[in-house]
A and B are shown apart, each in its own frame.
Chain A
Amino acid sequence: MVRQNNQCAEEVDQVKLAELDRFIDERKDVKGLLIPALQRAQELFGYLPDEVIRHISRRLDIPFSEVAGVVTFYSFFSTVPRGRRLIRVCLGTACYVRGGQEVLAALRHELGIEVGQTTEDRLFSLEIGRCFGACGLAPVVMVDDDVHQRVKPARVRELLASYREEENEEHETDLVTEGVAE
């Protein structure tokens, strides 16, 4: 009858967990620490693993269901790991003025996710970036280390397609390799 809730808990990076604990301890008397703690955890882990959410529930003595309620309420919290490609849209002044918002909207639409979330196939995560120092070529979108300049909302689909293709090729290569190995 007793279900051990975390018997299948993922291995959690203890160093990062200690860092999170330090963050919490330093703010012991702060009211409303839940959201800052979740944000810090997401910074550290890239997303909010189940075990980390439980850890925060225990540390802050806030019921797990309430913590989960907050996590699921805000779209910037993600409970799935980061995608294989991290898309960062610059919203620095120059990019903002030159249509960064529209580019972001197009990406959100195209990917079907909000900022901070990851696509279901775990290929892309979407985030907002600070100035990448390429203001002359705004608006700028970075995909991992690739800089895309003067991105137009209408071209966003194309941009994503190239990465999807790349991924498919890699995937096929994998299959072929496996086939050979067998």
Chain B
Amino acid sequence: MYNVTINGKDVQIAEGSTILDAARQAGVSIPTLCFLEHRAPLGACRVCVVEVEGARTLQAACATPVTDNMVVNTNSRRARQSRRTVIDLLLSEHEGNCQYCDRSVDCELKEIAHDLTIEAPEYEGERVPSVLDTSTPGLIRDSGKCIKCRRCVTVCNEVQQIGALFPQYRGYDTVVGPAFAMDLDSVACVQCGQCAAVCPVGAISEASHIEGVWRALDDPEKHVVVQTAPAVRAALGECFGYEPGTLVTGKMVSALREIGFHAVFDTNFTADLTIMEEGTELLMRLKAALTGKAEGYHGPSALPQFTSCSPGWIQFAEYFYPEMLPNLSTCKSPQQMFGALAKTYYAEQAGVDPEKMVVVSVMPCTAKKFEATRDEMNASGYRDVDYVLTTRELGRMIASAGIDFRSLPDDEMDAPMGLSSGAADIFANSGGVMEAALRTAWELVTGRELPTGNLHVEPVAGLAGIKEASLVIEDPLPDWSFLDGVELKVAVAHGLGNTAQLIKEIKSGQREYHFVEIMTCPGGCIGGGGQPRMTTDEVRRKRIAAIYREDEGKELRKSHLNPQISEIYERYLKAPLGERSHHLLHTKYVARQVV
């Protein structure tokens, strides 16, 4: 341990830590722009400079390791001036228009400028021209607002290992973006929105659907229904000043009613349905693999089966692992299952003309905006999902409707697609889909409850990049006797870089599994590209814990026991993987060319 003095406060900190780490520990805040948690510091923006006793020049706090007995002053005149100059220069190039900017409430540049009491332009610089990139369904990029901090580059290349973004050209002409500063649709981008999640300014954001949703709500002809993804309830509160990890499910339902949706449903319902379909699919694949035939099953039999609820992962596989497409579960994501059923099953029950129905989803995700536009997502005969709002967009809609969110009472979702089990809630967390599937599959096969302790599968929970578990099946029901003694092996990865690593090990034969869960975003959907900013690991942990609380607080914790699920099979779908399911709930994938 080193002893470091920061602004007169002593802290003990491990060797290898940076001045920034020490400052945070000492409760001293240093502004940063290019810095990203867990990533090698770039030291590029120089906004974090501090005075180190004995050093001639100012040091970048994010990139300078502490030494024993180091004495640091973050607040010398020279450090303040230097920081100011950095921000003055950035502002002189910045094509800013805060009053119209999506980030006006949480812009890091604006906040630092404010804190440094920058009140007038110091330099007259040439402004970076504002070129809008609206080429993709999920994201909007505005080059004029980009301050070239490269956080998006780090996330896209290192965390997600996609490499869609990179600095192009040099000097003043530098543009951070796709090859040759072309639009995002000209490179392999999976629309995960992790770039938008880390951008400190308004240079990358989701393509807004807010206006479209208001228009639908204002149209007396339209019947507008809404579904909310599990991860939204653990993060929406942050838009209204709640601590990360505050569950606001009931208030969210009230707010959606006040906004004027005709029915408030739950994507959780179709998450439970996904477990029925995907769990059955897994058992069929196992049967085909272990016994050579699975009567009545016509789907692919490749193992391991990969989950298919995360649209960024789907596109990642379509681009980079086309040979693995037969391994992807044919199940649509819960969002798309919901859309297809809303305009068929629910429309029939409610006596609503599906043509006049508008399906809105609220998602923690930007890739869901892309998913809803996929050509094949029209199983109902209409566009299954019409609009996709991010958690952030819903926050803005609630505010603009003049709703005092904090004082709302709790309300409940509507039937027949509003009830869900705790297994559906945990779809929001990395490892949650796996746990939910095991809760049901285990019970279907053995007739007994999953024996892992409070129904959790600890080894696949949490923030480790790649997680695995195995369970030996003993004494199965007669139908599943071929599984007797089989060691069921599962793995979970989140973040596409971790996913690439896991797939590499699977392909090389180093690891072998029956079932693999992939989520595109670090931490799972709770860390999605559409969640309130900034999602750090601390925030991820709090949201994850909240989701497990939601699950544990429910009587109903297994998908197959959800009475609305039994009802939809009885009245409409008949059986998992049945004729109607096949048409409405399952899908196909396409190989895509990377370059």
Contacts A1-B374, A5-B186 given; indicate if A72 touches B168 (C-beta within 8 A). yes
Contacting pair B170 A65 (CB below 8 A):
no
From 364 to 382 in chain B, residues with beta carbon under 8 angstroms from any chain A beta carbon are 370, 373-375
Contacts A1-B375, A63-B166 given; indicate if A68 touches B180 (C-beta within 8 A). yes
Residue A82 at the B interface, CB < 8 A? no
From 350 to 395 in chain B, residues with beta carbon under 8 angstroms from any chain A beta carbon are 370, 373-375
A54 and B593 CA atoms in complex are apart in Å by 11
From 158 to 180 in chain A, residues with beta carbon under 8 angstroms from any chain B beta carbon are none
Contacting pair B179 A64 (CB below 8 A):
yes
Pick out which of these stretches binds chain A: B41-49, B112-120, B121-129, B156-164. Answer: B156-164
Contacts A2-B590, A65-B178 given; indicate if A72 touches B185 (C-beta within 8 A). no
Contacting pair B179 A67 (CB below 8 A):
yes
Contacts A63-B157, A64-B187 given; indicate if A2 touches B592 (C-beta within 8 A). yes
Residue A3 at the B interface, CB < 8 A? yes
A65 and B592 CA atoms in complex are apart in Å by 17
Contacting pair B373 A68 (CB below 8 A):
no
Residue A14 at the B interface, CB < 8 A? no
Contacting pair A5 B169 (CB below 8 A):
no
A95 and B54 CA atoms in complex are apart in Å by 50
A174 and B302 CA atoms in complex are apart in Å by 64
Chain A 50-72 interface mask (CB, 8 Å, partner B; 1/0): 00001001100011111111001
A54 and B163 CA atoms in complex are apart in Å by 14
Contacts of A73 in B (CB 8 A): 167, 169-170
CB distance from B153 to the nearest CB of A (A): 9
Contacts of A54 in B (CB 8 A): 595
Contacts A3-B185, A54-B595 given; indicate if A65 touches B164 (C-beta within 8 A). yes
Contacts of A57 in B (CB 8 A): 595
Residue B165 at the A interface, CB < 8 A? yes
A173 and B179 CA atoms in complex are apart in Å by 40
Contacting pair B167 A69 (CB below 8 A):
yes
Contacts of A72 in B (CB 8 A): 168-170, 180
A79 and B592 CA atoms in complex are apart in Å by 26
Question: Which of B137, B179, B374, B590 sits near A65, CB closer than 8 Å?
Answer: B179
Contacts of B169 in A (CB 8 A): 72-73
Contacts of B178 in A (CB 8 A): 65, 68
Contacts of A62 in B (CB 8 A): 163
CB distance from B189 to the nearest CB of A (A): 9
Contacts of A3 in B (CB 8 A): 185-186
Contacts of B370 in A (CB 8 A): 1
Contacts of B592 in A (CB 8 A): 2
From 2 to 56 in chain A, residues with beta carbon under 8 angstroms from any chain B beta carbon are 2-6, 54
Contacts of A2 in B (CB 8 A): 590, 592-593
Residue of chain B at shortest CB distance from A55: B595
Chain B 562-595 interface mask (CB, 8 Å, partner A; 1/0): 0000000000000000000000000000101111
A59 and B593 CA atoms in complex are apart in Å by 14
Contacts of B177 in A (CB 8 A): 65
Contacts of A58 in B (CB 8 A): 594-595
Contacts of B137 in A (CB 8 A): 1
Residue of chain B at shortest CB distance from A62: B163
Residue of chain A at shortest CB distance from B164: A65
Contacts of B594 in A (CB 8 A): 58, 64
Contacting pair B163 A66 (CB below 8 A):
yes
Contacting pair A63 B180 (CB below 8 A):
no
From 107 to 135 in chain A, residues with beta carbon under 8 angstroms from any chain B beta carbon are none
Contacting pair B165 A65 (CB below 8 A):
yes
CB distance from A2 to the nearest CB of B (A): 5
A118 and B178 CA atoms in complex are apart in Å by 23
Contacts A65-B179, A66-B157, A72-B180 given; indicate if A5 touches B166 (C-beta within 8 A). no
Contacts of A6 in B (CB 8 A): 593, 595
CB distance from B453 to the nearest CB of A (A): 43
Contacting pair A68 B179 (CB below 8 A):
yes
Contacting pair B185 A69 (CB below 8 A):
no
Question: Which of A1, A65, A67, A79 sits near B373, CB closer than 8 Å?
Answer: A1
Contacting pair A69 B595 (CB below 8 A):
no
Contacts of A65 in B (CB 8 A): 163-166, 168, 177-179, 187
A57 and B163 CA atoms in complex are apart in Å by 11
A63 and B592 CA atoms in complex are apart in Å by 15
Contacts of B185 in A (CB 8 A): 3
CB distance from B440 to the nearest CB of A (A): 33
Chain A 65-90 interface mask (CB, 8 Å, partner B; 1/0): 11111001100000100000000000
CB distance from A96 to the nearest CB of B (A): 27
Contacting pair A5 B162 (CB below 8 A):
no
CB distance from A133 to the nearest CB of B (A): 36
A3 and B137 CA atoms in complex are apart in Å by 13
Residue of chain B at shortest CB distance from A73: B170
A57 and B170 CA atoms in complex are apart in Å by 20
Residue of chain B at shortest CB distance from A54: B595
Chain B 185-206 interface mask (CB, 8 Å, partner A; 1/0): 1111000000000000000000
Residue of chain A at shortest CB distance from B373: A1
Contacting pair B593 A5 (CB below 8 A):
yes
Residue of chain A at shortest CB distance from B177: A65
Residue of chain A at shortest CB distance from B189: A65
Contacting pair B162 A63 (CB below 8 A):
yes
A77 and B187 CA atoms in complex are apart in Å by 21
Q: Which of A4, A6, A66, A69 has the most CB atoms of chain B within a 10 A radius of its CB? A: A69
CB distance from B5 to the nearest CB of A (A): 41
A64 and B165 CA atoms in complex are apart in Å by 9
Residue of chain B at shortest CB distance from A53: B179
Give A contacts to B, CB under 8 Å. 1-6, 54, 57-58, 62-69, 72-73, 79
* A-B CB proximity, top 10 nearest: A63-B163, A68-B179, A69-B166, A65-B166, A54-B595, A65-B179, A64-B595, A72-B169, A66-B166, A64-B179
- Name 17 interchain pairs, CB-CB below 8 A, sorted by A: A1-B137, A1-B373, A3-B185, A5-B186, A5-B187, A6-B595, A57-B595, A63-B164, A64-B187, A64-B594, A65-B187, A66-B163, A68-B166, A69-B168, A72-B169, A72-B170, A73-B167
Q: A64-B188, A69-B167, A79-B180 are in contact. List 17 more A-B contacts (CB 8 A).
A: A1-B375, A3-B186, A5-B187, A5-B593, A5-B595, A62-B163, A64-B594, A65-B164, A65-B166, A65-B177, A65-B178, A65-B187, A66-B166, A68-B166, A69-B168, A72-B168, A72-B170
